[in-house]
Amino acid sequence: MSDIKVSICCLAFNHEPYIRQCLDGFVMQKCNFTFEVLIHDDASKDNTASIIKEYETKYPDIIKPIYQTVNQHSLGVSATKKYNFPRCKGKYIAICEGDDYWTDENKLQKQVDFLEKNSIYGLVYTNVDTVDENNSYLSKKFITQNELAFCNNFEDFLIYAPFIATCTWLFRKEFINYEKNNFIVGDLPLLLDISSKSMVYMINEVTSNYRILKNSASHHSNPIKNYNFNKGILNIQLHYVTKYKVSGNAIFKIFRKNFKTNYLSALKFNDYVFIKLLNGLINKENGFPFYYNVLVLIFKYEVFFNLVKFNFYFIFAINKLIKTIKS
């Protein structure tokens, strides 16, 4: 039997400016147990792999890398599920991407102590600070009075799909899920699976820095990519509605939270397949209150008439411009 208590899973790709901070956050941990760092470099084109090799040489019993020669992400492969999770020897799993880093040398000890004493909890996470690519702080104690302040069970996490920085997580190995899917993110499905079977706890202390990079998957200036990301999150929610046979009341809350933004965006980008999906959510089986069906119809007609009105004014303005040019 392995005496490793915690397996730290880390994905790295072109993280040369950040990977040292990440690895230093691991090796500085003060624990009364052993841990391993399972790092997967996805064929980085910069010096990320070389830096990892330095740490592998210095800490051979801790740093256990895989160096890819072909980028797995571009092949649609989940490196975490295929390469990191299967080799985890620890009782508990921690996650930290190569551009994030831990700031508390006692992070793992605090979280392990909590899970060891509280068997009904499957995952424990902490508060987090956010930084940019230059390590400038964007926010302190990110979790304040947002939705996470009252999310404490599966339906809460499903309805609000809150952001919980994975670099703060520690969860029990038995909750690893190898289900194949093409979800836009991997953390929300894992959170939902864990919270469907156990309780989740937050330690309200900052232990980590989560890095927000420009034009990442979840933070993008391109409106189409932002729309596709939000649509991807809703697709995860709808998948788990079916998977765990969620009540109509929860479906109604998901719909209420997402409908207006997603519906407007779907109209804007002519995504009629997704519009049909949203329309399909409104049915008697989901137990939507009658008044909400009326409000949805009003909203649809409001959107329609606004589009007609916009097109009318646009055509009128063009026509006026043409007449001005001719005169």
In a domain, residue 74? The reply is yes
User: Which tens digit of pLDDT belongs to each residue from 207-249?
Assistant: 999 999 876 555 556 888 888 888 899 889 989 998 998 877 7
Q: Tell whether 237 and 186 lie within a shared domain.
A: no
Please tell me the distance from the alpha carbon of residue 59 to that of residue 306, in angstroms, as a whole number.
63
pTM: 0.84
Q: What is the mean pLDDT of each run of 10 residues along the chain (327 residues)?
A: 89 98 98 98 98 98 98 94 97 98 98 98 96 92 68 90 94 92 92 96 95 68 84 90 86 76 77 74 51 50 52 51 52
In a domain, residue 317? The reply is yes
Domain tally for the chain? 2
- Please give the pLDDT value at position 151: 81
* Other beta carbons within 10 Å of 174: 11
* Other beta carbons within 10 Å of 242: 8
Domain boundary among 211, 240, 260: 211
In a domain, residue 219? The reply is no
Please tell me the distance from the alpha carbon of residue 201 to that of residue 324, in angstroms, as a whole number.
66
In a domain, residue 216? The reply is no
Q: Tell whether 267 and 288 lie within a shared domain.
A: yes
How close are the terminal C-alpha atoms of the chain, in Å?
90
Q: Tell whether 149 and 285 lie within a shared domain.
A: no
In a domain, residue 138? The reply is yes
Domain boundary among 211, 237, 266: 211
What values do phi and psi take at 210, rounded to 5?
Answer: -100, 125
- Please give the pLDDT value at position 294: 47
Tokens standing for 218?
């979840």
Measuring CA to CA, how many Å separate 173 from each of 23, 134, 193, 283?
A: 22, 34, 13, 39
Q: Tell whether 154 and 120 lie within a shared domain.
A: yes
Nearest CA-CA partner of 39 in 68, 4, 12: 12
Please tell me the distance from the alpha carbon of residue 322 to that of residue 24, in angstroms, as a whole number.
65
- Please give the pLDDT value at position 284: 44
CB 60 within 8 A of CB 33: no
* Other beta carbons within 10 Å of 89: 17
- Please give the pLDDT value at position 290: 46
E strand or H helix at 204, and its extent?
A: strand 199-211
Q: Which CATH number belongs to the domain containing residue 17 in this structure?
A: 3.90.550.10
- Residues with Cβ < 8 Å from 221, sequence gap 6 or more? 214, 215
Q: Tell whether 233 and 203 lie within a shared domain.
A: no
- Please give the pLDDT value at position 267: 76
Q: Tell whether 238 and 167 lie within a shared domain.
A: no
- Please give the pLDDT value at position 201: 94
- Please give the pLDDT value at position 69: 97
Q: Tell whether 14 and 107 lie within a shared domain.
A: yes
Please tell me the distance from the alpha carbon of residue 23 to that of residue 37, in angstroms, as a whole number.
9
Domain that residue 316 falls in: 224-322
Please tell me the distance from the alpha carbon of residue 44 to that of residue 71, in angstroms, as a whole number.
8
User: Which tens digit of pLDDT belongs to each residue from 61-100?
Assistant: 999 999 999 999 999 999 999 999 999 999 999 999 999 9
